[in-house]
Structure 1
Amino acid sequence: MSTPDENGTTPAEPLWPAGSATGIGSLPGTDIAEAVKFTLGELPDLPYLPELPGRGPGADMIGRSAGLLVELPVEIYAGRWRVAASPGRELRRAYDLRERDLDQLTEQAEGFTGTLKVQSAGPWTLAANIELALGEALVSDHGATRDLAASLAEGLKTHVADVRRRVPGAKVLLQLDEPSLPAVLAGRVRTASTLHTYRSVAPSTVRDTLTSVVEAAGVPVIVHCCAPDAPLSLLRDAGASALALDLELVGTGAEKLDAIGELIDAGVGLFAGVARTTPPASGRQPDAGALADRVKRLWRDLGFPYELLAQRVVMTPSCGLAGATPAYAQAVLKACREAGRRLVEQ
């Protein structure tokens, strides 16, 4: 018999209800009360704590996630986040914004008993976007990157525990956003001068660092990487329970199909990014039927039994929705929710 984890789940128990849909993280606007209400209402099977980067520094992906670091203060200098001797004004603002966000979640999710997702930038994206005091990114210093990963792991463990305490009926999932990961692996992260790039980081180092953060979280982890060269097998080996991918960027070539098929075969879930984050020139709204059909075609090409589709796939936008209008963001998430329900249909 499998041993339950801290969420009370076992490996055989689904991490989310069949036919679920969710968002990647960000939404337009600055009203956190309205945003939390929106995600709980529109995505009842898999709501998430929304991110509102429109609130400014400290609410952006790097600043918000840096606010989770333990004993590693940062500040903004010349428009960039960098390691500091003490927390800068923007970091203190990040602390305050997170507390407000959690207070709203506590109030509005009272009595909630389903699956709930929270997000943070992953260690390699933070290392590529936070600078050392002398101006070069942490990714240039492997020792500094290890320290950052350990700090993030400790902070995420505390953050997840806080969310579980505030919403005791929830099964918490953690999403790590790693948009910079392919650049780290390929040696494409630019130096401070922008004239050169940092050396590439070995896949084994990247994997082991991610594994340390995933294991420390104590809850199932989804890794989100919206890049055409997302390292799927590496993320699987790092212990991700699911991967969130932009299906348009990943493509449908034989090699990519094989890689996605290997993930599914290994029991890794797929958060299928199928809905555009901005409307097409025609202004056409997202169509739930078309979104569901896209994923059904992929599943058919992969050759897996149809009855597993709704259990293993979660419908999502292709990325965050901070750049969308409120009306379009609402239309996208509604279409994803309806598309998820259509996956349950035979």
Structure 2
Amino acid sequence: SIAWLILGAYVVIRTVVFLLHSLSRKYNSSLDNFLTFSIWGGVALQIFGVLPKCVEFMQTTKIPLGSTNATVWSVFLSGFSIALALFIAKWIGQFFEKWINSLPTMESNVRVVIIRVVKVVLVTIAILIGLASVGIDITVLGVFGGAIGVGLGFGLQKIASNYVSGFIILLDKSIKIGDLVNVSGVEGIVTDIKTRYTAVKAYDGSVTIIPNENFVTSSVRNTSYLLGPGRATVMMSVDYSADIDEVIELMTDIVRKQPRVLINPAPYTILTNFGADGIELTSYFWVPDPEKGTATLRSNIGRAMFREFNKRKINIPFQQRDLHIISMPEVICKVENDVPAPSKSEAKAGT
């Protein structure tokens, strides 16, 4: 009987550790050690005959809880039942999440909504089953639910608003993971949409945590909202002595040679303004993937134009001003003749 007990404890320990590792992404050795020592400790107490006495002691020791007296054993069974139910619910939720993510035709927003709703339902069912399994009337949770509703109405307005806003932006598909957005002065790519906030990763690698309420109540610029080409511009200024037709043709040809620039619609260059220092020209072009950014492309185009302008001796004007003097006041220098000559000692000293 002792051998079977030890073998059963070993199987239980390995099974529990395997399930924990399959559920959690990070290895937690402290939890493994706690479960291992707890199970081996229970086996040791059972072998030496101490475990039945401990159970009998917990069954006879009562704890006053309101109008009823619960035993230590019932409280222990309640905690164990709820923990086991939550563990099973999380395990089922993990398998369900993997199955949903494996569906190629489902959109990312719909996946996130379904996974979150299923996890909330599973946790709620696990808690109710755990409480009902130990004889606790679950109808008493109505008072607790009412208290939560009052708390959400007063002290947790922002949290409730962000929570609801998270589901709104997922369901109406205005914001999706991977979109290039600009909200609250922050521009970047949406990397994750949580229950309370949305993570936006900027081009420098930093991540900004933005409450979901901002995406619902404020204006959001979503470059990736509509799939299709996006337009970008590059502006240059040339001297008034330059041949404008030649410069326009040169700038359009430089833009057309870039790999990301679309041929249809074709790029073009127009004269934008007669500036104070030179003639301003702007090149317009389209790219098929504006969500990937156009800063590097515009920089390459500007560098190519600058090199070609230097080769063809096309001057890029700098700020200059012409100063015309209308009149000058007449300056009269009066020489005093009665100034005494310096003495020899003063002249020697240089005064």
TM-score when normalising by structure 2: 0.19
Higher relative helix content? 2
The structure that has the greater radius of gyration is 2
Q: Which has the higher contact order (CA 8 A, sep 6+)?
A: 1
Compute the TM-score of the two structures, normalised by the length of structure 1. 0.19
